[in-house]
Structure 1
Amino acid sequence: MVKLNKPRKPQTLLDQLPIEARLKIKKYSSDACNAAIHGQQIPVALGYELHRFSVIHGIRHHHGFAQELHGVAPEFTRALNARDIMSGIIPAKSEPDEIPYCIWHPEVPDESTLRALVQRYPQMLYNAARACAVAGYIDLYEELNPLPEVHVAEEEASYASAEKSNKGSQEIHQRITSQHLKFEIMNDNTRTVDIANPRVASLNGDTAFYSSLGGGKEHVEQKELKYFYREYGDFHCTSHYFNITEDWGIDDHDHEAPDAPESYFPLLYGPLPMDLPPVNKDKLIVMAAYSGDIDRYTRLHRPQMVSQEYFCIIRGIYHNSFWAKWWSTQITEDANTTRFSEFEIEQIQRAINARRIMSDDVTWVTADTPEDLLPMNIWFPKRACADTYERLARIRPDMLWPAGIQMAPTESETQEWKLQHLSRIVGPQMWMEANASRNDHYRRDIAAAVPDKLESLDRDYIARTLFGMISKEWHFPTPHWVDKWVDKNDPVHVGLRDYGEYDGVSVRVIPSIDFAVFARDAIGVDHDIWKNKKDGRLMMFEVYELLEAAEASHRSVARI
């Protein structure tokens, strides 16, 4: 049903400026965003990105809104054309960059409109087929006779059928997934359709499924747009990976899309099927990076980072030589590194170099190696041999302290040379490590090198707060007091700290995953206990209380 526009607010003199002039005005207004979202008024400051996305949202949800923007910019024209199609109107003429991608949200066109659309625009065959999958137009789908396309088959059909019990959607999904060969023609990341070059593919969770488009995020002013559609505090923590409606899902309030129909949990410990079921695969990506699983990661990862993925990549490099070697082939001058900032590329290279040292390889180190590529942690989770640390320190004396924590004096090493370099580089963290070592020669050397600084090193409260843990504590097992639980739907939680073992960052999967991977099946996901657990979580003591009660009941019945 076409939604009628609400009355517009009275115009001001700024509203009467030419559109070309308004496209240059960049100033955020909450009221302007809300008015555009509700299809009431076009913002004055059309140069501000959130305003433009608000306009696109308003166009898609309110037929007749912002008609004067047709032809002003391709994104506005695409939104207007999409709204017309959803309202049963076929655009008379469109340039290639004005053809919309998503024509099925917030409303699906009727069958006659889709049929006429494909007749006029044959290149929109798969857009129409996907709309058929959402709405369950099985007869029209058969009439269009598209190749079995994975985006049409994937969440678009499976989610629609699950949400609506739509037999037409279910049949379309089944017809595609039953084919031996399936193809990728649509691309939700780039909003492109390549009919001329279909690629053999499998279902891989790369579709912006229909139900996900129902989620939204309240617009807020930010200096850079990336912080609007990425969660605050984590550059790679995205609230959307797809933007098929071209409005980044903004709204006047936050609201979550439904969860995926199936749990990703069984895929954590089992092989990936040829066709992924309808799951949210983000945590599978995170765990593949965390453990350094090259095959799973290369199949699953998205063009855009998901939450915590980058930090898990770093952790995986430190723990897995093969993962480190693979990343050394990815992070090169001529590689596609658009997923990372320059700082992140540098940090990945530094982690690779740390793993190389721990693998006793210092062939890459020269006197000219940039200091920013020299890692600080070169002993956790694996220690190199003493010869490696000695060779490293002689090639790069500025690496003496990280190497020296593991390296005892040798006959070839003069005390004068060592104390001279120690006096230049000694700091609170090095002094903490020396005091914690069972070998007293490190503490004695520092005391000899900087006898007048020992008191200040002991009192450096800021350094002790920042560095917190000494290196030997990184090898300690999980403390007994760490909470453990079973999470019914989302057991993977990655914890971060501002300091730690991986060049300043601590990345750990919360220990409950080790418990949950076994105990979850002991309870069963269909148990009535979950009905009273709104957070979907059972603490360890609750698990054992439940199992003990069940065992007692079983014994009681057996006696009868």
Structure 2
Amino acid sequence: MLDRLELRTDQEKAIRGDGVSRLLEDRDSRAALIRGIRLHYHSAMSEPVRRLSSSMPQVARARNARRIMSNDIPERMTAEEQPYCIWHPDMATEDTYRSLASKFSGIRYQVGRACAAAGYHVLYQELDLLPEVSIAEEARESETDGGKLIYDEIMSFKSRYAIMDDCKRTIELRGYECPAYLNGNTEVRWRLAARQGITRWSNDDLLPCIEEDMHLGLEDQEVDQRHGTLTDDEAKLLYSPLPRDLPTVKKTLLTQMAAHDGNIERYAQLANSERTLTQLDQDCVIRGVLHHTMYARWWADQIKNDTIYARSAPYVWDIQRAIMARRIMLNDASVFEDGWPPGVPMPYIIWWPLQPQSDMLSLLAIKVPEMKRQCAAAAIVCDYENVYKNLDPEPSWHLWKVASLFATNPFYREDQEWRGRENGVDVKDDSFMESYILQ
């Protein structure tokens, strides 16, 4: 078994095109190999990679993508071996893409997307494709003369189609969506510059990932600054109704603001793909859930029905925890009338941004004894002295800290200190901070 340093060295060699990762069972090592193959023609054509491609379709797709981008059309490709992205990190010539589409008819939409990225308007017209929204967004964001012509041509149609799915890396020629709208879901070419370095302690497998390489690189890399900054017209979308066709793919801030504000309609429109939520995205969702009841209710339905919104959250249990906290703060005892729901995490803070009634805390402590400490903390903040005394909580650094920072009544801090002396616990010393595992 390779240690971490050996794995990282292996991954670096693979990305540089200097070898094949030894531990291909490792997710990151496979991704590093894919990255190296897509970057380096000599790696793609090496004998070890050629052998691997016969048994690993993912490697075959990367190898074929590199060959195409190097103007070397493969002699044969099964459907499973046809790559999704054939326009990054490099683009082939227009003649190469033309020959590719002629030889492999099943890859015509990928060629159309490549035309949008490269600005090959003449070839795009020859392909005679349905007006597809991902191709339109790719064309607009390419900032090429040919790309503008492709974009204008697609937008001139009364209805458009969603055929390419970047999160699933699929081309849907039968069950496509129509009418479809430009919604910023396309992983356009400039977005692919963002990389997570192999030097990180851990890397995330983020969707969409049209290159199948986990966005890995030798080091962290951000997109160009101009692509991360909203223009004045784009910023106006923060305080204007959203058009059906978004004029930008830079919708991260728009989506985060919709989540933060608990705006169901805007969030549902902006986040309607399986794009993985970042930690900041999810923090905004949690904030929205804690402050807005209807948004919390909507999210509860998404989680229950396992929708694309729920699947986009890598730590969905944190959202569940916020939903339960909101229900408790609204004095909704039905949530635990038969005990705590199995598999649902317990919240710790149940007193902000709303304060539950005293009877609610007493009932919660009876029905769910595991929540006694949370109830005591809420009683301290809400100044429910009788509830606190009835709970008779053990001395705790957690409760002492809550009393010190948030209680207006000094009784609770003094009581925790007294209980600490009686039980030989220094509640002021955080080394006595007993581990608290959120259920």
Same-fold call, TM cutoff 0.5: yes
Distance 1:32 1:391 in 2: 57
Contact kept in structure 1, 2:350 and 2:378, CA below 8 Å: yes
User: Which sits farther off after the overlay, 145-154 or 171-180?
Assistant: 171-180
Contact kept in structure 1, 2:395 and 2:420, CA below 8 Å: no
Does 1:73 pair with 2:42? no
Q: Would you tell me which structure has more helix in proportion to its own residues?
A: 2
> What is the 5 A alignment of 1:64-143?
64-67=42-45, 68=47, 69=50, 70-143=53-126
Distance 2:412 2:11 in 1: 62
Equivalent position SS for 1:199: coil
Equivalent in the alignment of 1:276: 246
Contact kept in structure 2, 1:392 and 1:403, CA below 8 Å: no
Q: Compute the displacement of 1:393 (Å).
A: 4.7
Distance 2:392 2:333 in 1: 25
**Partner amino acid, structure 2, of 1:361:** D
- Report the CA distance shift for 1:35/1:334 in structure 2 as closer, same or farther (over 3 A): closer
User: Which sits farther off after the overlay, 69-78 or 141-150?
Assistant: 69-78
Contact kept in structure 1, 2:37 and 2:66, CA below 8 Å: yes
Equivalences, count = 417
Equivalent position SS for 1:248: coil
Equivalent in the alignment of 2:282: 310
Equivalent position SS for 1:461: coil
Distance 1:370 1:426 in 2: 28
Does 1:300 pair with 2:270? yes
**Partner amino acid, structure 2, of 1:63:** Y
Does 1:169 pair with 2:140? no
Contact kept in structure 2, 1:390 and 1:407, CA below 8 Å: no
Equivalent position SS for 2:161: strand
Q: Would you tell me which structure has more strand in proportion to its own residues?
A: 1
Contact kept in structure 2, 1:26 and 1:46, CA below 8 Å: no
Equivalent in the alignment of 1:60: 38
**Partner amino acid, structure 1, of 2:210:** I
Distance 2:211 2:368 in 1: 53
**Partner amino acid, structure 1, of 2:244:** M
Does 1:401 pair with 2:376? yes
Equivalent in the alignment of 1:246: 212
> What is the 5 A alignment of 1:48-447?
48-67=26-45, 68=47, 69=50, 70-154=53-137, 156-161=138-143, 166-200=144-178, 201-220=180-199, 222=201, 227-229=202-204, 241-258=207-224, 259-260=226-227, 262-263=230-231, 264-301=234-271, 302-303=273-274, 304-332=276-304, 337-340=310-313, 344-366=315-337, 368-369=339-340, 373-393=345-365, 395-396=367-368, 399=372, 400-402=375-377, 404-405=379-380, 406=382, 408=384, 419=389, 421-431=390-400, 437=407, 446=415
Q: Give 1 or 2 for the bigger CA radius of gyration.
A: 1
Contact kept in structure 1, 2:397 and 2:428, CA below 8 Å: no
Equivalent in the alignment of 1:16: none
Q: Give TM-score scaled by structure 1 length.
A: 0.65
- Report the CA distance shift for 1:377/1:145 in structure 2 as closer, same or farther (over 3 A): same
Equivalent in the alignment of 1:490: none
- Report the CA distance shift for 1:175/1:353 in structure 2 as closer, same or farther (over 3 A): same
Q: 1:453 aligns with which of 420, 424, 434?
A: 420
**Partner amino acid, structure 2, of 1:197:** G
**Partner amino acid, structure 1, of 2:265:** D
Unaligned ranges ≥5, structure 2: none
Q: Compute the displacement of 1:381 (Å).
A: 1.5
Distance 2:109 2:81 in 1: 17
Q: Compute the displacement of 1:250 (Å).
A: 3.0
- Report the CA distance shift for 1:251/1:378 in structure 2 as closer, same or farther (over 3 A): closer
Q: Compute the displacement of 1:58 (Å).
A: 3.1
Unaligned ranges ≥5, structure 1: 1-23, 231-239, 468-498, 505-560
**Partner amino acid, structure 1, of 2:211:** T
Equivalent in the alignment of 1:537: none
Q: Compute the displacement of 1:408 (Å).
A: 4.7
Distance 1:61 1:440 in 2: 64
- Report the CA distance shift for 1:462/1:180 in structure 2 as closer, same or farther (over 3 A): farther
Equivalent position SS for 2:184: coil
**Partner amino acid, structure 2, of 1:133:** A
Contact kept in structure 2, 1:188 and 1:242, CA below 8 Å: yes
Equivalent in the alignment of 1:15: none
Contact kept in structure 1, 2:425 and 2:432, CA below 8 Å: no
- Report the CA distance shift for 1:312/1:249 in structure 2 as closer, same or farther (over 3 A): closer
**Partner amino acid, structure 1, of 2:420:** K
